[in-house]
């Protein structure tokens, strides 16, 4: 996972710690970006994967029954950490798991209890899958109060599958115990109030300095403690390794470059570090340019030349309402004309079929055609409210800035060298490259090292042909006609 976290597994049966509370992944649907989490009391919550990976206090806790997800410095869990009542509940859960796995509450035919095996769990007449299904049905028939008292609310099919793979009575009992019954890591006793003050003082000192090692930070910690707290025993100052662990827990891993960490902190203090929630088409339009990775020809028999592709992407519908293809590098005039194209309906072109006409419900195609004076292609159009750009010279041109202000646009420039501020348009460039450009003659690859022997010789498309090809591909392939945005949302 990004941000220096441990690797996160979201398969069914995985355990997660959210704000210190253990949750089990009951089911995951990565194709829809969502999953179902179940806590120790059986409460299920439907969450998106995006919400989960951005949770501020998320830690992996391993598979069901796996205690390796605990902090290495913490004492390993044992049955002695449970009270008698908690241990009794864990044994009841373990007995149900063993009955589903073997047909016997004690896990073996030699230790069978009176009346065992029951017909639904007879290992000679049922399969493991049938016994699991019977156990799930049996537990579902319990009253909510009885299930809560016995701690059997969250014992579903997926949980049974994970628990039956465990070996050993101790491992199974610990896996069946609620993770909230045991305390979290005890912290760092050597980090007293004086040491805490010194650590924050060292962090403030390091903000504007070049990046230094933990050893240098530890030396600064000793220096501050000596000057600020003269009577504090030097032997009680935390070691360098404790400082490294505390620093990572409090401030993160700090793996970024110094200038980027400063800019990120400044953005967070200014209130621009939060995510923008887009509610309607045209609320945020992201603009960006990139060299076209395909060599073109000015004319059919002309020389091979390079071009620049400029895209405008609507962050609400993730559609491309306009683009520009320019020989050489783009200019502020090209970007201004792209904004004009965003606001006007795209006319149908020669050779485009009926499947590429205006399809959005709520606004009849005849009304749009009457307004535009021609048949309109299946591409939304609107007046942009906010324009996000990088710091390229065309986007900082005074004429373009004035044109954006005349259109009533709010200019929201991305931070320097921060592609994450306009990640959607960056991903659009990557998608177009892999889905379209890689299949064309004259493709140059990602960089010079990936270039073919002679892409200039392979170039066959002219600028006009490439422009028509990209327009048709965006309308027919890239844009989701029916689900991205509705006609009632278009402005």
Which residues have CB under 8 Å from 13's CB, separation 6+?
Answer: 24, 25, 63, 64, 158, 159, 161, 162
**Superfamily in which the 284-489 domain is placed by CATH:** Ribonuclease H-like superfamily/Ribonuclease H (3.30.420.10)
- Taking the C-alpha atoms of residue 474 and residue 479, their distance in angstroms, rounded to an integer, is 6
Backbone angles phi, psi at 106, to 5 degrees: -90, 0
Q: What's the confidence (pLDDT) of residue 256?
A: 72
Q: What's the confidence (pLDDT) of residue 202?
A: 93
Q: What's the confidence (pLDDT) of residue 7?
A: 61
Q: What's the confidence (pLDDT) of residue 70?
A: 44
Q: What's the confidence (pLDDT) of residue 97?
A: 85
- Taking the C-alpha atoms of residue 413 and residue 272, their distance in angstroms, rounded to an integer, is 11
Per residue in 37-71, is it b (16+ CB within 10 Å) or e — as a string? bbbbebeeeeeebeebeeeeebbbbebbbbbebbe
Task: Name the DSSP letter for residue 104.
Answer: S
Q: What's the confidence (pLDDT) of residue 466?
A: 93
Tokens at residue 69, please?
A: 């997800």
pLDDT tens for the chain, residues 1 to 491: 443 445 677 777 788 877 667 788 888 888 788 888 887 666 778 888 888 877 777 777 654 444 444 444 455 667 777 788 888 888 888 888 888 888 888 888 888 888 888 988 888 889 988 888 888 888 888 888 877 777 677 677 877 777 766 655 556 777 777 666 665 555 688 889 999 999 999 998 988 888 889 999 999 999 999 999 989 998 999 999 999 988 888 887 777 777 777 777 776 666 555 566 788 888 999 999 999 999 999 887 888 899 999 999 998 888 899 999 998 888 999 999 999 999 988 899 888 988 888 887 778 888 888 888 888 888 888 999 999 888 888 888 898 889 888 888 888 888 766 666 778 888 899 899 999 999 999 899 877 777 888 888 888 899 999 999 999 999 988 875 433 443 333 33
Q: What's the confidence (pLDDT) of residue 219?
A: 94
Pair 330, 313: CB distance under 8 Å:
no
Helix axes 84-102, 128-140, angle to 10 degrees: 140
- Taking the C-alpha atoms of residue 82 and residue 145, their distance in angstroms, rounded to an integer, is 22
Backbone angles phi, psi at 307, to 5 degrees: -140, 170
The CA–CA distances, whole Å, from 415 to 75, 272, 392, 405, 425 equal 44, 10, 12, 20, 15
Q: What's the confidence (pLDDT) of residue 470?
A: 93
- Taking the C-alpha atoms of residue 320 and residue 474, their distance in angstroms, rounded to an integer, is 7
CA 467 to chain CA centroid, nearest Å: 33
Which residues have CB under 8 Å from 490's CB, separation 6+?
Answer: 281, 360, 363, 380, 381, 382
Domain borders along the chain are 1-182, 193-269, 284-489
- Taking the C-alpha atoms of residue 153 and residue 142, their distance in angstroms, rounded to an integer, is 9
Closest CA to 48 of 76, 63, 28: 28
Contacts of residues 267-270 at CB distance under 8 Å and 24 or more positions apart, as own/partner, are 267/415
In the three-class reduction of DSSP (H, G, I as helix; E, B as strand; rest coil), residue 428 is classed as helix
The CA–CA distances, whole Å, from 129 to 80, 359, 452 equal 34, 48, 55
The strand pairing partners of 305, in sequence order, are: 296
Q: How many CA atoms lie within 13 A of 105 on its CB side?
A: 10
Q: What's the confidence (pLDDT) of residue 182?
A: 63
Which residues have CB under 8 Å from 426's CB, separation 6+?
Answer: 288, 419
């Amino acid at each position: 996972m990004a941000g220096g976290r441990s690797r996160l597994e979201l398969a069914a049966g995985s355990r997660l710690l959210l704000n210190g509370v253990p949750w089990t992944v009951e089911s995951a649907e990565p194709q829809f970006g969502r999953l179902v989490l179940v806590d120790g009391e059986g409460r299920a919550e439907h969450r998106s994967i995006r919400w989960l990976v951005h949770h501020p206090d998320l830690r992996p806790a391993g598979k069901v029954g796996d205690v390796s997800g605990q902090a290495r410095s913490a004492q390993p869990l044992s049955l002695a950490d449970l009270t008698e009542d908690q241990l009794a509940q864990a044994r009841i859960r373990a007995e149900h798991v063993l009955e589903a796995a073997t047909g016997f509450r004690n896990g073996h035919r030699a230790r069978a209890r009176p009346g065992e095996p029951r017909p639904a769990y007879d290992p000679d007449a049922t399969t493991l899958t049938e016994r699991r299904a019977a156990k799930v049905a049996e537990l579902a028939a319990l009253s909510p109060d009885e299930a809560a008292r016995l701690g059997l609310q969250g014992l579903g099919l997926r949980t049974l599958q994970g628990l039956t793979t465990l070996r050993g009575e101790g491992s199974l009992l610990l896996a069946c115990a609620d993770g909230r019954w045991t305390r979290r890591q005890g912290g760092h006793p050597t980090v007293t109030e004086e040491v805490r003050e010194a650590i924050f003082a060292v962090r403030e000192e390091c903000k504007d300095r070049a990046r230094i090692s933990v050893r240098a930070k530890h030396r600064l910690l000793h220096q501050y403690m000596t000057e600020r707290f003269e009577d504090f025993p030097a032997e009680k100052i935390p070691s360098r390794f404790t400082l490294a662990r505390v620093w990572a827990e409090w401030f993160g891993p700090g793996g970024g470059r110094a200038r980027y960490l400063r800019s990120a902190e400044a953005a967070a203090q200014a209130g621009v570090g939060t995510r923008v929630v887009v509610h309607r088409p045209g609320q945020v339009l992201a603009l960006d340019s990139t060299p076209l990775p395909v060599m073109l020809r000015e004319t059919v028999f002309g020389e091979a030349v390079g071009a620049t592709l400029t895209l405008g992407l609507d962050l609400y519908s993730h559609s491309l309402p306009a683009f520009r293809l320019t020989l050489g590098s783009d200019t502020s005039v090209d970007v201004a004309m792209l904004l004009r194209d965003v606001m006007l309906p795209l006319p149908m072109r020669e050779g485009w079929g009926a499947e590429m006409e205006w399809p959005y419900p709520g606004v009849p195609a005849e009304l749009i055609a009457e307004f535009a004076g021609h048949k309109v292609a299946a591409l939304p159009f609107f007046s942009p409210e906010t324009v996000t750009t990088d710091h390229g010279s065309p986007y900082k041109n005074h004429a373009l800035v004035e044109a954006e202000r005349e259109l009533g646009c709010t200019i929201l420039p991305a931070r320097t060298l921060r592609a994450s501020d306009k990640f959607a348009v960056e991903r659009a460039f990557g998608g177009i490259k892999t889905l379209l450009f890689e299949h064309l003659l004259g493709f140059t690859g990602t960089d010079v090292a990936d270039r073919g022997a002679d892409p200039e010789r392979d170039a066959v498309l002219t600028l006009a042909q490439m422009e028509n090809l990209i327009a048709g591909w965006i309308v027919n392939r890239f844009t989701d006609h029916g689900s991205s945005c509705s006609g009632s949302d278009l402005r």
